Amino acid sequence: MRLFWFWSALVFLAGPVIVLQAQETPSQEQEEDDEEGRIPIESDWSALSTRYSRGDQTFSISLGLVKPLFYADQEAGYLPSNMNLGGSGSLGWNYFLGTRLFVGGELSGMFASTLGENMYYIVPMGFRVGFQPTVRRFEFPLSVLVGIAPQSHRRLSYFGFFAKSTAGIFFRFHTDWSLGLNTSFWWVPQWTGKRREEHDRPVRIHGFFLEFAIGVRYHF
């Protein structure tokens, strides 16, 4: 009888220890099941915070508004643009030479009505060099573009130099896509061979425009 109570007490005291030990030490089959059903820590979203590498490319489309600021004339000084708010659109391509430096090209167009209800058109195209810092999924492209820009107003036309500087902010919402805003300052000079009667000097006029655009970029 005493032996029975001794073994009963021993089982009662050692039982919880045996149960805890069994819970803390999973079987080999359980470990294999956990490894098969485990969700990987790294996913496609982890690549969004990585830097660019040589050979990465982007294709961009943007639509915006352009504010004609003023004209600067060598003889007459600053002149009003006499144009209303206009619209713009562009197609662009960038090729990364490293983690931040890129080159590319752009074809764009702009139109604005004058106070006399006529239309003024510019079709800029050129070569771009830029630098892009990144902070997690935010990208801040800075670039300078130089090229040419055919222009027309009524029956007048001009073909000459064009340049613009651009600063933007983009959010990488997908591994292949980003959405953002660009602000650009345009320099549109007209260096003609026409001479002024009162000064006998060739006409040199510089136009300045400010552009605000929303854009989407495809990364590949």
Q: What is the pLDDT of residue 219?
A: 94
The whole-angstrom separation of Cα 203 and Cα 198 is 11
Kindly list the distances between the CA atom of residue 123 and the CA atoms of 2, 161, 168, 206, 218, in Å, as whole numbers in the listed order.
106, 11, 21, 16, 23
Asked if 60 and 161 sit in the same domain, the reply is: yes
Residue 14 lies in a domain: yes
* Whole-number Å distance between alpha carbons of 151 and 133: 34
114 and 144 in a single domain? The answer is yes
Asked if residue 182 belongs to a domain, the reply is yes
H or E stretch covering 100: none
Within a domain: 174: yes
Given this model, what pLDDT does residue 122 score?
95
Q: Are residues 163 and 80 in the same domain?
A: yes
Question: In this structure, are 61 and 17 located in the same domain?
Answer: no
Do the domain assignments include residue 45?
no
- pLDDT of 52 reads 87
pLDDT of residue 102: 97
Residue 16's pLDDT is: 45
Judgement on whether residues 17 and 63 belong to the same structural domain of the protein: no
Statement to judge: residues 116 and 15 lie in one domain:
no
pLDDT of residue 50: 58
The SS3 assignment for 134 reads strand
24 & 104 share domain? no
DSSP state, residue 14 = H
Please indicate, yes or no, if residue 47 is contained in any of the structural domains.
Answer: no
> Radius of gyration of the chain from Cα atoms?
33
Pair 29, 57 in one domain: no
Same domain, yes or no, for 69 and 110? yes
* Same domain (yes/no): 71, 27: no
pLDDT tens, residue order, the chain (220 aa)? 544 444 444 444 444 444 444 444 444 555 454 445 554 444 455 555 557 899 999 999 999 999 999 988 876 677 888 899 999 999 999 999 999 999 999 999 999 998 888 899 999 999 999 999 999 899 999 999 999 999 998 888 889 999 999 999 999 999 999 999 999 999 999 887 666 565 566 778 899 999 999 999 999 9
pLDDT single digits (tens) 12-22: 444 444 444 44
pLDDT at residue number 217: 97
Tell me what pLDDT residue 208 has.
95
Give the model's pLDDT for residue 10: 46
Q: Are residues 96 and 16 in the same domain?
A: no
Of 122, 161, 143, nearest to 60 by C-alpha is: 143
Q: Does one domain contain both 152 and 66? A: yes
Range of the domain at 94: 52-219
- 46 located within any domain: no
DSSP letter at 17 equals: H
Q: Looking at the 3D structure of the chain, how many domains does it have?
A: 2
Residues 145 and 134: beta-carbon distance below 8 Å: no
CATH code of the domain in which 92 resides: 2.40.160.20
